[in-house]
Amino acid sequence: MSKLKIFLADDQSLVRSGFRMLIDAEDDMQVVGEATNGMGALSALSNEPADVVLMDIRMPEMDGVEATRRIVEAGLPTKVLVLTTFDLDEYVFAALKAGASGFMLKDARPDDLLSAIRSVADGEAVVAPSATRRLLEQVVSKLPEDPGKTDERLEVLTDREREVLVEIAKGATNSEIASTLFMAEGTVKTHVGRLLSKLDARDRVGLVLIAFETGLVD
């Protein structure tokens, strides 16, 4: 089995060293490159894309938000997992909007970070639970002023799809959604795929943002 290729973008050498030691100790992944800023990461990944890049937010020359945006706009196959020291600073929401597949805190448990890397590489999206509150604070200001008005984006969804979207917004996994809504996990995956298509969302993070922006979840 080929190993997942992981790229590190962080301006602190000690942080990169710690992540490299953790990742290279795993049988299914390895660090294939490093950069001290977004410009270096973009240049390296353009020449040889990795499966996942661990992207710091605050870096010199080009920050993680701009680097994420350019990676997505360039159509590179590399998934972006944003890392931040804070629960949610002002740049993380922008990074998610730019196309990041999720974000984790730098003080996350090693097992949680490794699990997040694997999930992102597998096409899932990851949002650190402890950062959810501040993410919602960012979204609340963008919610419709009239809570009784249905956003037109939701009109294309069936009642069941709305129920699944609500659970996704709560951070539930497919297996948890299956248990809560009494359906097979395969059926949940089908609903998730339809939601991504109907709402033109890149991944589950996009679905979460839409759920809050449309007022489906408050």
Task: Catalogue all structural domains in the chain, each as residue range(s) with its CATH number.
Answer: 4-137 (3.40.50.2300), 143-213 (1.10.10.10)
Residue-level pLDDT at 85: 78
Q: Compute CA 34 distance to the chain's CA centroid, rounded to the nearest angstrom.
A: 20
- Cβ-contact 116, 137 below 8 angstroms: no
Please list the pLDDT of the chain residue by residue as tens digits (218 residues).
689 999 999 999 999 999 999 999 999 999 999 999 999 999 999 999 999 999 998 899 899 999 999 999 999 999 999 988 765 556 667 777 788 888 888 888 899 899 889 988 887 777 665 555 555 555 555 555 554 445 788 889 999 999 999 988 887 888 889 999 999 988 998 998 899 889 988 777 778 888 888 888 86
SS3 state of residue 122: coil
The string over 7-17, giving b where at least 16 C-beta atoms fall within 10 Å of a residue's C-beta and e elsewhere, is bbbbbeeebbe
* Calpha distance 71→77 (Å, rounded): 8
Residue-level pLDDT at 147: 47
Q: Please list, in sequence order, all residues whose beta carbon lies within 8 angstroms of the beta carbon of residue 20, skipping any fewer than 6 positions away.
A: 8, 31, 34
Residue-level pLDDT at 214: 84
Residue-level pLDDT at 148: 46
Q: Model's pTM, two decimal places?
A: 0.70
> Alpha helices of 156-203 — where are they, by DSSP H?
159-169, 174-181, 185-198
